[in-house]
Amino acid sequence: MNQNLKNKIFSFIKKPLIIAVALFVFTLIEIYWAMGSFSNKPSSGCLDCSFFDDAYLMTLFSTVFLSIVFLPFSLIKNSNIKVTLQLLLLILIWFFWNYTIFVDRESSWSTYLFKEEIMYTLKFSFLPILTLSILTIFTLNYILKKL
């Protein structure tokens, strides 16, 4: 393969690869920061599954989904709209995964109401999601502007 073709291929996959790696790392950190206190509790869906297995799969699914969705967002010229959409989507996805972990490892073993599940998930997730979502989006946009 000649050098020119290698450069074209690398430049084509560089942006999606950077987005995917950043999302993977930040999502894994967020899940462990927010829901790490449930890592020693058994999963109600799979008694042999470790917390790392759950976190890894959730991170992998999030990375693929968000990478695909964030690529078209890079075409939006209005940065305020783009950042707002990215933040909202990232916050919703992360909150959903945190809620899933809470239900799987805590509330399914007890008698929580839906409202209580949401409130407890919000209690555990608020600071990690707020901090890391802002950091993630601004890091992604900063890196992608430099490309």
What is the model's pLDDT at position 12? 74
> Going by C-beta distance under 8 Å and a sequence separation of 6 or more, which residues neighbour residue 95?
121, 122, 125, 129
CA dihedral 98, 104, 109, 112 (to 10 degrees): 40
Least confident of 9-13, 73-77, 89-93: 9-13
Return mean pLDDT, the chain: 91
Coil, helix or strand for 43?
coil
- pLDDT band for position 7 (50/70/90)? confident
Distance CA(62)–CA(97), nearest Å, equals 9
Burial 62-84 (b: 16+ CB within 10 A, else e): bbeebbeebeebbeeeeeeebbe
What is the model's pLDDT at position 74? 79
Pure H helices in 36-113: 51-73, 79-105
pLDDT digits (tens, 9 = 90+) for 80-139: 999 999 999 999 999 999 999 999 999 988 889 999 999 999 999 999 999 999 999 999
pLDDT beyond 80 at 6: no
